[in-house]
Structure 1
Amino acid sequence: MLRQPKEKRTLNQNLMLASSTAFVAGIIDVVGVLAFLAFTSNITGHVANLAKNIVQQDFDSILVFGLWLFMFLFGAFVSNFIVKSLQHISYYRAHSAPIVLEILVLIFIAFYGNNFYKESTQERQIVIGALLFAMGLQNSLVSNVSGGLIKSTHLTGLFTDLGSELADWIHPRTRKTEEVKNKIYVRLTILVFFIFGGFAGGYFFNIYEFKVFYFVPVILLSILYYDLLPLAWYRITRLFITEKRTFSKNL
């Protein structure tokens, strides 16, 4: 899912990346609402709240919403900066590094939430900022990897693009291309898995509370493992063949 640059990606690779990251985003968004009473991927809503508080001159809230917006922006910045810095070495390393950073952030939140979280306003604001940073990392990465096709947390843009592409597909004067059909598949996959992730996040949070955040890194690790599996299998096969030849020569 991460080894290929955007120019060489297949539909299956994009579908797997879209489903896994949208599932993660759905879990985190709903758990964020249940645990902290705030969306962790709804940047439009935070901008609206920032504008409202500016009008009301609520300077404490202006600072909070401004910080939250900055954390999402900073996550996107860090993700793209890492990719640009490492892609000349390896696309896999460049694309996996932001996911590793996201995993570390989520593990910290899980550990802190299970052991130290006292539900204070300041703690809530800091944890929401950390989650927005993680979502900024993820959204920027998948957009970068897929050439802008996948945005796992940006459902407003998804509905806009999906509506336009469905119009292209249905309109009698439009040539129905494979590219348009594939884009529709990807958009629908993001939508379905985001909803499914939200349902799973809400259900399991009611049972396990902050322990849900330990489960999310497992999904992200599966994305990293998917690309390592063929390489590991290749090396194991090479090692087996080499040892077999050595054994035959000794005979």
Structure 2
Amino acid sequence: MPFSSAEISPASRRAYMLLALLLASVAGEVNAISFFALGTHTSHMTGNLANVGEYLAKGTWDLAVEAGLLVFAFLLGAVTATVLMDMSRRRPRGRHAMALLVEALTLAAVGLWATRHPGLKEPTIGWGMAYAMGIQNALVTRVSGAVVRTTHMTGVVTDIGIQLVKMMTWVRDGARGHGLGGLVWMIRRLPTAEQFARTRLHLGLATAFLIGCTVGPLLFFHFGAAAMAMPCAVLTLLVVLDLSPAGAYAPVTPGS
């Protein structure tokens, strides 16, 4: 069910927003760690799909297959999450727990294997990370009604730019004819204006992703592949919250 649905209570909407923000930080961590460990990004597929075409044009078939397998792993993760959520959509709670748990276990397996084989750039590590990110992206897409993505920020940053102009227009129109006092009053209303709730969410997503992209490499530089324990811990926390009575965010509907 979408974050913005009027059928969702304010408490449920906050729970969904917390889910999205924490998952954005997870994606930032995984994406940054995969870049420093493997030299490639695994949370978004634009660059990898472009690489497939570029390698095919150059005739480097082995590299094209390698990039293509990352895209396939991401796709397989999206399929997995969709199947798991369809299987659990009628549960009163824990509807996201299985997908989150599979993501956590995948990242834990990747981290454990990489810890035992430090410095080895095994392609299956990237496939595992891409698979986990595919799970996460499909999960958040379904939960938010395709409003939110957490594994890539292109659409989020675009929406922030659009909404910033709308916000400035809203302040200008509301303050017109009321002088400086009216301008100050409208600016003070911005943080709580309902029409800009999505803007606040997207700003939060971008910030959470950036924090993850910063924390992930810092942990990786100090602890190596064991840094994967951090996103796994966040995902485990989300599983526990989703299975708790408070995790029953909203009434279950066939399309949720």
Q: What is the TM-score of this pair, normalised by structure 1?
A: 0.81
Structure 1 unaligned regions, length at least 5: 233-251
Structure 2: distance between partners of 1:197 and 1:56: 34
Structure 1: distance between partners of 2:43 and 2:164: 25
More helix by share: 1
Give the length in aligned residue pairs.
Answer: 225
Structure 2: distance between partners of 1:53 and 1:209: 30
2:116 aligned residue: 115
1:245 aligned residue: none
RMSD, aligned CA: 2.4
> Deviation string for 1:88-139 (max 9, x for gaps)?
2x1533311110000110111111011135615xx1x211111001001011
Which residues in structure 2 correspond to 1:183-222 (within 5 Å)? 183-222=198-237
Structure 2 unaligned regions, length at least 5: 175-189, 248-256
1:171 aligned residue: 169
Give 1:41 deviation, angstroms. 1.4
Give 1:18 deviation, angstroms. 2.1
1:53 aligned residue: 55
Structure 2: distance between partners of 1:228 and 1:5: 20
**Is the radius of gyration larger for structure 1 or structure 2?**
1
> Deviation string for 1:125-178 (max 9, x for gaps)?
211111001001011101211222221112111112222222333335999995
Give, as a single letter, the amino acid of the residue that structure 2 aligns with 1:189.
G
Structure 2: distance between partners of 1:178 and 1:67: 44
SS in 2 for 1:38: coil
Q: What is the TM-score of this pair, normalised by structure 2?
A: 0.80
Give 1:228 deviation, angstroms. 4.0
1:35 aligned residue: 37
Structure 1: distance between partners of 2:69 and 2:155: 23
Give 1:206 deviation, angstroms. 0.8
Mapped pair 1:127 → 2:130: no
Identity across matched positions, percent: 25
2:66 aligned residue: 64
**Cα distance 1:5–1:56, how it changes in 2: closer, same or farther (>3 A)?**
closer
Give, as a single letter, the amino acid of the residue that structure 2 aligns with 1:217.
C
